[in-house]
Amino acid sequence: MKNISLSLTAKKIIEAVDKMPSLSPTVSKTIQIVNDITATPKQLMDVIKLDPILTGKVLKLINSAFFGLPQKITALDRAIILVGVNTIKNLALSTAVAGSFCDNKKVAARINMEELWLHALGVAVTSKLIAREIKIPRPLQEEFFIAGLLHDIGKLLLVQYFPDEYAEVVDEIKVSGASIIEVEHKRFQANHEEVGGLLSEKWRLYDSLIEPIVSHHSPNFDSSSTLTNVVYLSNILCINNEIGFICGQIKRDIGESILKKVGITRDQIESVIKKIPGELAEAARIIKIGDD
């Protein structure tokens, strides 16, 4: 992870990271089990049933109109099989992260948090769509969704704890057209990639998820993972198509180098863009269903 100087502002950021609650043991164990190809649905059920809130979310989801089942499902093991373990991972992690950022009227007055989450969700579904286009195996496609969803967690923390300062960052970007990384660093002596890295360490996220969080604006195409490169590309597509709150960032050209690195054509990109609205609406429904 990139180092940040311990200026007064940086110390305040570190204090904010320290104040953030850790991910619950249930969520951490759920992620571990789902990422273990030898794990069974029963192992996942044994973890989830210890968390009544997550159990309720899973049962609420499987009995929602989204699935449209003719009979009500009350057994957790049956729900897990029908929903799918990767959907449960998405549900557990997304609701846990969203719950870590409390409602704040001062934040809402300056930054639209719902639109900020919509951008994160947009990058999540776009990353998964690209993964599908480049023939990533189906079980691994959910990893792209999660990486996209979490790519801006550093920004979420900055907005949550420094709403006035971050509103000024957005205003400056709109006026100057400067990069968000540059303006954040000038204002905070740290950018949201670096802050996301600190939060990733606190939450003990696995390494493959941390790289796109700390490098989604400036990956090293020679060494970065396909996951990171896809999140980078997805972020640009969502900015260019104004999906969610994009913090005043301007549209950017998509170079041939990133297309070649990801292994996708411009025709495939156009196909992905057309599918984003439907996939985004579906993902939003799932997360909303899981919200108590």
In a domain, residue 61? The reply is no
CA 18, chain centre distance (Å) = 20
In a domain, residue 161? The reply is yes
pLDDT value of position 103: 60
For the chain, 292 residues long, give each residue's pLDDT as a single digit of tens: 445 445 667 788 888 888 887 877 888 888 778 777 788 888 888 888 888 878 888 888 888 876 778 889 998 888 888 888 877 877 777 777 777 666 665 565 678 888 888 999 999 999 999 999 999 998 788 889 989 999 999 998 998 889 889 999 999 999 999 999 999 999 998 999 999 999 998 888 888 889 999 999 988 877 899 999 999 999 999 999 999 999 989 999 999 999 999 999 999 999 999 999 999 988 887 766 555 5
> Which structural domain, as residue segments, surrounds residue 182?
14-22+103-289
Q: How many domains does the chain have?
A: 1
User: What is the CATH number for 265?
Assistant: 1.10.3210.10
Residues near 17 by beta carbon (within 8 Å), at least 6 away in sequence: 157, 195, 198, 199, 202
In a domain, residue 121? The reply is yes
pLDDT value of position 105: 58
In a domain, residue 71? The reply is no
